[in-house]
Amino acid sequence: MRIVETTDGVRSLVADLGGAPYLALDTEFMRDQTYWPKLCLIQVAAPGIEAIVDPLAEGIDLAPFYELLKRPDIVKVLHASRQDIEIFHHQGGLTPHPLFDSQIAAMVAGFGDAASYETLCRKIAHVEIDKSSRFTDWSRRPLSQKQLDYAIGDVTHLRTIYEYLKKELEKTGRSEWVAEEISALQDPALYELSPESAWKRLKPRTGNKRFLAMIAAIAAWREREAQIRDIPRGRVLKDEALMEIAAHPPADADALERIRAVPKGFAGSRLGKGLMEAIEEGRNAKPPEPIEHDRPRRRREPSQAAVDLLKTLLRLRAEAVGVAPRLIANADDIERLAAEEDEGVPALHGWRAKVFGNDALALRKGDLAIALEKGEAVIVELED
């Protein structure tokens, strides 16, 4: 295991990794006290190479390593990659491509819903992971040997997992299924933390336009303050306070001070003045677009029987192809199909349609049925 703590060390590592067909990658970071994730370690492994890069080492420049991650001829392998991609996006200005996410691949290859790294290590690499170092403080130096061993294990076994899953997907012809899922993770917009979109995190359960205009304005204010100060959103103001303010906007600082969820003395602070300005903006602002609650209501609520039939069909089709049901369709997809609200349902497109969506439409039309055969549910095609 190589420990890289200098820019020269980064360049040397990059040179050694330059001919690798793939890189198994992971990161360790801290985020409990900051808005932006604090990158503490980068772990990387390729055939015959294992290294840990210390981003906190004094004077280290990671630019050569980030350039390596842009190479189109090297597959970047990660497990449950979204948070790692977010870090690379914000710190390195890149979204790794081509990308292989072993969690998604495992769901397609029959390892169930959201298979953990520990599960794949046990079932594929035949090793047990010591998880005792998972929640240690990765920003403290020096790191113990136990921490280093745990960290490097997140990529050394990933090599074995990747090579196994890659062969399985090629054998079953499902590599494109995984590629389709992974492409959604590579959209840079997914990692842009725009203040104007911050209100969506709060998932307001109302379509009231005045409320939505207000929550969008004050959530954007909080997001900007959190980004500038590099502190968690809740340290600026709690979600509960934002929702209460949006529901009952205070007319002045005194009224703001009387809101139970707002800390005492907040209204008279610089933050309080900024919040009052955001509230005034919210009073006259247009509601944000798109508004989830403006989606046309279903013509009718789906019957529970229709939902149950579609769930059974999903289970049977998922079992038949060895794919996690949740990857094919979620509960909302099932309800929308049962209500004949088909527009925008992912299960009706791409590989999902071949596996389940087309059969779901056939079941709904009466061209397909579910019957019992020797006590087991089976799918039956009906003749005209």
Mind giving me the DSSP string for 286-327? Answer: PPPSS-GGGSPPPSSPPPHHHHHHHHHHHHHHHHHHT--HHH
74 in Cβ contact with 23 (< 8 Å): yes
- Cα 302 → chain centroid: 29
- Is 299 among the domain residues? no
Same domain, 277 and 308: no
Same domain, 207 and 168: no
pLDDT-based confidence at 114, cuts 50/70/90? Answer: confident
Q: Identify the CATH number of the domain in which residue 32 sits.
A: 3.30.420.10
At which residue do the structure tokens 């495992």 appear?
106
Same domain, 41 and 156: yes
The percentage of residues in the chain with a pLDDT greater than 90, rounded to a whole number, is 85
- Is 261 among the domain residues? yes
**Residue 240 belongs to what domain range?**
195-292
Where does residue 9 rank: exposed (0-12), middle (13-18), buried (19+ CB within 10 A)?
middle
Number of domains the chain is built from: 3
- Whether residue 291 is predicted with pLDDT greater than 60 in this model: the reply is no
Domain end position, chosen among 123, 156, 191: 191
Please choose, from the candidates 306, 333, 202, 221, the residue with its C-alpha nearest in 3D space to the C-alpha of residue 272.
Answer: 221
pLDDT at 301: 82
Question: Measured between alpha carbons, how far is 236 from 224 in angstroms, rounded to an integer?
Answer: 10
Q: 167-192 burial, b for 16+ CB within 10 Å, e for fewer?
A: ebbeeeebbebbbbbbeebbeeeebe
Question: Measured between alpha carbons, how far is 60 from 9 in angstroms, rounded to an integer?
Answer: 9
pLDDT-based confidence at 384, cuts 50/70/90? Answer: low
Q: Are strands 38-46 and 49-53 parallel, antiparallel or unpaired?
A: antiparallel
The whole-number average pLDDT for the span 289-310 is: 71
Nearest 5°: phi and psi at 78? -135, 160
- Whether residue 133 is predicted with pLDDT greater than 50 in this model: the reply is yes
Same domain, 158 and 231: no
CA angle 166, 169, 174 (to 5 degrees): 140
Same domain, 144 and 33: yes
In the structure encoding, which two tokens stand for residue 371, read together?
A: 């019957």
The whole-number average pLDDT for the span 274-292 is: 88
pLDDT at 299: 53
- Is 297 among the domain residues? no
pLDDT-based confidence at 360, cuts 50/70/90? Answer: very high
Same domain, 335 and 269: no
Domain end position, chosen among 191, 216, 248: 191
Q: What's the mean per-residue pLDDT of the chain? A: 93
3-state secondary structure of 150: helix
Please choose, from the candidates 55, 50, 60, 63, the residue with its C-alpha nearest in 3D space to the C-alpha of residue 6.
Answer: 60
pLDDT at 290: 58
Span 163-197, pLDDT tens digits? 999 999 999 999 999 999 999 898 888 888 899 99
- Is 280 among the domain residues? yes
Question: Measured between alpha carbons, how far is 27 from 21 in angstroms, rounded to an integer?
Answer: 20
Same domain, 40 and 149: yes
Please choose, from the candidates 373, 370, 371, 368, the residue with its C-alpha nearest in 3D space to the C-alpha of residue 384.
Answer: 368
Q: Identify the CATH number of the domain in which residue 334 sits.
A: 1.10.150
Same domain, 277 and 337: no
Domain end position, chosen among 144, 169, 191: 191
Same domain, 184 and 55: yes
Span 57-82, pLDDT tens digits? 999 999 999 999 999 999 999 999 99
Question: Measured between alpha carbons, how far is 176 from 169 in angstroms, rounded to an integer?
Answer: 9
Q: What is the DSSP letter of 40?
A: E
- Whether residue 300 is predicted with pLDDT greater than 90 in this model: the reply is no
Question: Measured between alpha carbons, how far is 137 from 62 in angstroms, rounded to an integer?
Answer: 22
- Is 238 among the domain residues? yes
Same domain, 153 and 208: no
The whole-number average pLDDT for the span 342-357 is: 94
pLDDT-based confidence at 206, cuts 50/70/90? Answer: confident
Question: Measured between alpha carbons, how far is 328 from 274 in angstroms, rounded to an integer?
Answer: 45
Q: Identify the CATH number of the domain in which residue 223 sits.
A: 1.10.150.80
Write down the H helix ranges in 95-174: 102-108, 117-120, 145-172
Residue 374 makes CB contacts below 8 A (sequence gap 6+) with: none
At which residue do the structure tokens 């020269």 appear?
8
pLDDT at 14: 98
DSSP string for 193-238:
--GGGGGGGG--S---HHHHHHHHHHHHHHHHHHHHHT--HHHH--
Same domain, 166 and 60: yes
- Is 298 among the domain residues? no
Same domain, 90 and 185: yes
- Is 222 among the domain residues? yes
